[in-house]
Amino acid sequence: MMKIVGKNIDRLDGVDKVTGVGTFSTDLSAPGMLYGKILRSPHPHARIIKVDTSEAEKLPGVEAVIHRGNVPNNPFNTAAPMYTTVPYLKPVLDQWIFAEKARFVGDEVAAVAAVSEKIAEAACKLIKVEYEVLPAVFGIKEAMAADAPEIHDPRITPEGKNVVAEIIRIPPGLPGDALDKAFEDADIIIEEEFKTNVQKQCQMENMAALAITKPDGSITVHSTTQTPHPTKAILAKVFGVPASKIRVTNPPYVGGGFGSRIGLSGKAEVVAIALSMATRKPVKVVYTRKEDFMATDTRHASIVNVKLGAKKDGTFVALDLKGYTNTGAYCTFGAELPGVLGAMTLAIYRIPAIRYYGHSVYTNCTPGGAMRGFGNPQGNFALERVVDMMAEKLGMDAKELREKNISRAGDPWFLPYPCSSSELAECIKQCARSIGWERRGKLNNGSGHIRRGLGIAVGTHVSNAWPFCVDYDNAYVAVQSDGSVNLSVGCCDMGTGISTSLPQICAEAMGLKWEDITFTFADTASTPFTIGNHASRGAYAQGTAVKAAADDVKKQLLGYAAGLFKVSPEALIIEDSIIKPVGAEGKGVTVVDPMTLPGAIEEAAAAPVPPPQDHEIVKPVHTQGPQKGISLEGLAYYAHIRNKQFIGVGKTIPPNAPPWHCCAAEVEVDTELGTVQVVKMAAAHDVGTVINPLIVEGQIEGGVVQGIGYALSEEILYQPNGQQAHTSFSAYMLPTAEDIPEIDTFIVEGSDPSGPFGAKGAGECGLVCPASAIANAVANALGAKVNELPMTAERVYALIHG
């Protein structure tokens, strides 16, 4: 019976956040601090011929102006894969603090440090830049065309012009003819092309970094990164300084992430450090919301081709998938993301013959990077639409067709980790019941301008980054001499609740009272390495390390206590921070001073010194029972004054595990205007054992609402001149509280053999299926082909009226 895991323990960061006391990077200041501002390119593609900073330097209050000519020019990648790329891929280093060419509108050209933000901004306007404007390209197909301009040096694109990094093939290697043969066995084949547009993370806190360089060469950066440790490693390479000189830390809160700052926070850290080096003063860089829209990673726009073959009875026999993602001006995650798109889409169903081919494409758009779901929503939308089309062609119910074909726990599959658990079938049941699936096809009588529809979609995701990136994790647990327990993990809590769930795992594994635990995180100076918080890996991957560290230290504690009790360690347990005999679970024990236990008496008697004294430091714990116990504080202090401490180390290589999820949607389409109203969403998730139900529900609900935005209204489009058309919250339509439908959330608890207490990843899967389910519902309402996201009123109107 678990006491802490599975409980809605109040978040440890709750009080800080509801009182406004909690600090974020944007809130920080330092003595003598200057403000940094960035000059950005107005052109989508232009060679920078000359940067004249003389007028800007003359403006009173300006302390430094930096540009390509006076900063280090080491190539790097703002994304964490610069330091977490797996052995069989090569990291793409295609970025510089300031590049010799601007490759999108908003690309960094120069920066200023001044005594105020306003002066820095004014100085940026005084910098004169001479550009040689080059032809630009914005679309995936256009960038792959023979006449497209080349955006990067061919050494960076060995697979072909504007093709980013390696082409991903699943299975690896050149294709054989097995797939074509499998299609020959299919009774029905459906082949379709799908398009998705750019979504933006829109984390509420803009990119921010405060860099403090000191005369001894040390650099401390407080920033919004989701990955302090890899970021530290990247920064050392950018500036060519020893990594030992750099400390990266969150302050400790980060106002959302959703993938936008895996690695660097845009270029906030590098510009802040470069300006701080130039001025020898602390420099803070905070992006504006417009800069966030223009110049920080977005979700990749995509083109996905699906060819699915099935037998008449609905059995899927072959799937051929192609994915092309628009990575914009720089690679960032452009190498890994097409892999996740393919793998997660292929993994949903048991299909004997599968093939995937995919890669990213450079264009002169804002870089595409990581956003919650990481390629999976794009692929999921395409395949789940085709599954609905297949159901229609087969005359089968779309839900039953899925139930017939979904992957099941224990199924052999192509991924290098097992399909270790799945409650997807139950998730489908819950969603279907909640949405009233039996009403499907009976919602419209053909009159009026409102058409109703129901849709369902299923999917999976990852619980960590392997095999797409390096993935292992570490944790320390120290039982302090005062009996408090300090857990230390290098994670970032950007809102996902990991700074509560990891202590929950630790406290549960050790048998602690909740108030005994303290948590150190998000600081490279005081925590062990972790690749950071992304890939839904916090509770799962960091959780396994925490569990291992907790088990390790518990073993040490019980081993030591066993000597005092004169029993074997297996005969003792820890419950509510009391060490007591097995069998006393849930029962009171008489808590005694460890000094009074037989082992202690024996030891004292054997020692050639006077008998031990009671220091009266540890307060007695008043619980009574037939058996004896000792408090953790008592034991820790007893050990401490005998020069002994307990520190547990967890070093784990979690294999990865699939979470599963189903989403169902009911929509109303106004056929006169093309508007889509989501009436209800149901989402059911198998994320293994749930560490904290409220936190997991929050992840699902947040994901569903982001999914509604992705489905209906969120996109960044480009003007013909390369300007982003959506660079503010008034243009970019993410849902507000007035826009959300009824949302029914179900946690279908399973247990995964590899996760801590059976947990799997929960961070991203909320956002994978909603848009697919809504698209299927719209298609159901209209009997139309829905092949593009988002389904804006204008696009839906065109579907209806041509």
Partner 1 sequence: MWQEYLFPENINDAVSILSGSDGLARIIAGGTDLMLDIEGGRHVVEKLVDLSRIRELDQITEENGIIRIGANVTCTQVVNSELIQKKAPALSQGARRLGSKQIRNIATIAGNVIRAQPAADTAVPLVALGAKLEVVSADGTRTMEILDTYTESFAKSKIDSTSEVVTFLHVPAQGTLEGSAYVRLDKRRALSLPILNVACKISLAGDTIKSASIAIGPVGPGPRRAFDAENKLVGSDISPESIQSAAQLVINQCDPRNSLVRGSRKYRMAVINKLAERAIMQAVACAKA
Partner 2 sequence: MMKKITVNFTLNGKAIEVFCEPDKMLVDVLREELALTGTKIGCREGECGACTVILNGDAVNSCLIPAAKVVGKEIQTIEGVADNGRLHPIQTAFIEKGAVQCGFCTPGVIMSAKALLDKNKSPNSDEIREAIGGNVCRCTGYVKIENAIKHAARILSEISVTGGGK
- Shortest distance, position 91 Cβ to partner 2, whole Å: 29
Question: Which region among 81-89, 206-214, 670-678, 774-782 touches partner 1 (by CB under 8 A)?
Answer: 670-678
- When asked if residue 794 is in the footprint of partner 1 (CB under 8 A), the reply is yes
Question: Which of 613/730 has CB closer to partner 1?
Answer: 730
> DSSP string spanning 670-739?
ETTT--EEEEEEEEEEE-BS-S-HHHHHHHHHHHHHHHHHHHHT--B-B-TTS-BS--STTTS----GGG
793 contributes a contact to partner 1 by CB under 8 A: yes
Length of the chain counted residue by residue: 802
Residue 737 in contact with partner 1, rule: CB under 8 A: yes
Q: Interface residues for partner 2 in 477-506 (CB under 8 A)?
A: 494-497
Please report whether residue 18 would count as binding partner 2 according to CB under 8 A.
yes
Q: Are strands 301-310 and 283-286 parallel, antiparallel or unpaired?
A: unpaired
| Residue 299 near residue 371 (C-beta atoms within 8 A) | yes
- In the chain, the N- to C-terminal Cα span, in Å, equals 60
- Is residue 607 within the footprint of partner 1 (CB under 8 A)? no
Look at residues 220, 206, 218, 204 and name the one whose alpha carbon lies nearest to residue 283: 220
**Region 727-746 residues binding partner 2, contact defined as CB under 8 A:** 728-730, 734, 736-738, 740, 743, 745
What one-character-per-residue DSSP string does 598-661 give?
A: HHHHHHHHHSSSPPPP----SPPP----SSEEEEHHHHHHHHHTTT--EEEEEEE-------EE
253 contacts which partner out of partner 1, partner 2, none, CB within 5 to 8 A by kind? partner 2
State the binding string over 739-758 for partner 1 (x if CB under 8 A, else -): x-------------------
Question: To which H or E segment does residue 184 belong?
Answer: helix 178-184
* Only segment of 249-257, 465-473, 502-510, 673-681 that touches partner 1 (CB under 8 A): 673-681
Does residue number 614 form part of the binding site for partner 2 (CB under 8 A)?
A: no
Beta bridge pairs of residue 628: 590
Which CB atom, from 543 or from 722, has the smaller least distance to partner 1?
722
Determine the distance from the C-alpha atom of residue 746 to the mean position of all C-alpha atoms in its chain, rounded to a whole number. 21
206 is a contact residue toward partner 2 (CB under 8 A): yes
Query: Binding string to partner 2 for residues 240 to 279, with x set by CB under 8 A, is what?
Result: -------------xxxxxx---------------------
Could you give the CA distance from residue 108 to residue 98 in angstroms, rounded to a whole number? Answer: 6
In angstroms, give the least distance from the CB of 253 to partner 2: 6
Instruction: Select from partner 2, partner 1, none the partner in contact with residue 360, using the beta carbon and a kind-dependent cut-off of 5 to 8 Å.
Output: none
Span from 408-416, 587-595, 658-666, 695-703 in contact with partner 2 (CB under 8 A): 695-703
| Residue 698 site contact among partner 2, partner 1, none (CB < 5 to 8 Å, cut-off depends on kind) | partner 2
Helix/strand/coil (H/E/C) assignment for every residue in 324-392? EEEEECCCCCCCCHHHHHHHHHHCCECCCEEEEEEEEEECCCCCECCCCCCCHHHHHHHHHHHHHHHHH
> What are the tokens at 151?
């955006």
20 contacts partner 2 (rule: CB under 8 A): yes
Judged by DSSP in three states, 283 sits in strand
For residue 94, the 8-state DSSP code is: -
Q: Which of 325, 420, 706, 776 binds partner 2 (CB under 8 A)?
A: 706
Which residue, 240 or 720, is less far from partner 1 as judged by CB?
720
Q: Contact region for partner 1 (CB under 8 A) — 158-166, 556-564, 684-692, 786-794?
A: 786-794
CB atoms within 10 A of CB 196: 25
Cα–Cα distance, 39 to 327 (Å, whole number)? 22
Which of 151, 102, 93, 103 is CA-nearest to residue 130? 102
- Minimum Å distance from CB 101 to partner 1? 26
Does the protein bind partner 1 through residue 29 (CB under 8 A)?
A: no
The region, left, alpha or beta by phi > 0 then psi within -120 to 50, assigned to residue 740 is beta
Query: Which residues 700-719 are close enough to bind partner 1 by CB under 8 A?
Result: 712-713, 717-719
Residue 793 interacting partner from partner 1, partner 2, none (CB closer than 5 to 8 Å by kind): partner 1
**Beta-bridge partners for 473:** 652
Q: Do 345 and 309 meet the contact criterion of CB atoms below 8 Å apart?
A: no
- Considering the rule CB under 8 A, would residue 725 count as an interface residue with partner 2? no
Residue 695's binding partner, choosing from partner 1, partner 2, none, with beta-carbon cut-off 5 to 8 A by kind?
Answer: partner 2
Specify whether the CB–CB gap between 112 and 39 falls below 8 A: yes
CB-nearer residue toward partner 1: 29 or 719: 719
Which of 187, 675, 701, 751 lies at the binding interface for partner 1 (CB under 8 A)?
675
In the complex with partner 2, the residue whose CB is nearer, 494 or 545, is: 494
Tokens of 491: 């994670």
How far is Cα 411 from Cα 368, in angstroms, rounded to an integer? 34
**Residue 122 near residue 90, CB atoms below 8 Å:** no
Quick check: 462 and 197 in contact, CB under 8 A? Answer: no
Nearer to partner 2, 33 or 800 (CB): 33
- Least distance between partner 1 and beta carbon 735 (Å): 6
719 binds partner 2 (CB under 8 A): no
Q: What angle do CA 440, 351, 373 make, to 5 degrees?
A: 70
Task: Note whether 299 and 198 are within 8 A (CB).
Answer: yes
Total residues at interface with partner 1 (CB under 8 A): 26
**Residue closer to partner 1 (CB basis): 89 or 679:** 679
Contact between 725 and partner 1 by CB under 8 A: the answer reads: yes
Q: Does 567 bind partner 1 (CB under 8 A)?
A: no
Q: Which residue, 503 or 654, is less far from partner 2 as judged by CB?
A: 503
Closer Cβ to partner 2, 724 or 745, answer by number? 745
Query: What's the count of helices (H) and strands (E) in the chain, helices before strands?
Result: 20, 28
Residue 155: strand, helix, or coil: helix
Q: Virtual CA dihedral for 409, 415, 416, 418, nearest 10 degrees?
A: 0
Closest CA to 768 of 339, 235, 348: 348
What does 706 bind: partner 2, partner 1, none (CB cut-off 5 to 8 Å by kind)?
A: partner 2
CB-based contacts of 180: which residues, under 8 Å, 6+ apart? Answer: none
Does 13 interact with partner 2 (rule: CB under 8 A)? yes
CA dist 544 and 759 (Å) reads 9
Among 3, 7, 27, 526, binds partner 2 (CB under 8 A): 27
204 binds partner 1 (CB under 8 A): no
Nearer to partner 2, 20 or 412 (CB): 20
Whole-Å CA distances, 203 to 174, 258, 264:
40, 7, 15
Q: Which does 16 bind (CB under 5 to 8 A by kind): partner 2, partner 1, none?
A: partner 2
Figure out which of the listed residues 674, 722, 750, 755 binds partner 1, where binding follows CB under 8 A.
674
Q: Which stretch binds partner 1 (CB under 8 A): 361-369, 457-465, 684-692, 731-739?
A: 731-739
* Smallest separation, CB 719 to partner 1 (Å): 7
414 binds, among partner 2, partner 1, none (CB under 5 to 8 A by kind): none
Query: Of partner 1, partner 2, none, which one does residue 673 interact with (CB within 5 to 8 Å by kind)?
Result: partner 1
From 17-25, 126-134, 314-322, 671-679, span contacting partner 1 (CB under 8 A): 671-679
**Can you read off the two tokens belonging to residue 619?**
């307060």
Contacts of residue 395, defined as CB under 8 A and 6 or more positions apart, other chains included, come to none
**Closest separation between CB of residue 798 and partner 1, Å?**
8
Residues that bind partner 2 (CB under 8 A): 8, 10-11, 13-24, 26-27, 201-206, 253-258, 288-289, 494-497, 694-695, 697-698, 701-706, 728-730, 734, 736-738, 740, 743, 745
Contact positions toward partner 1, by CB under 8 A? 672-675, 712-713, 717-719, 725-726, 729-731, 733, 735-739, 792-794, 797-798, 801
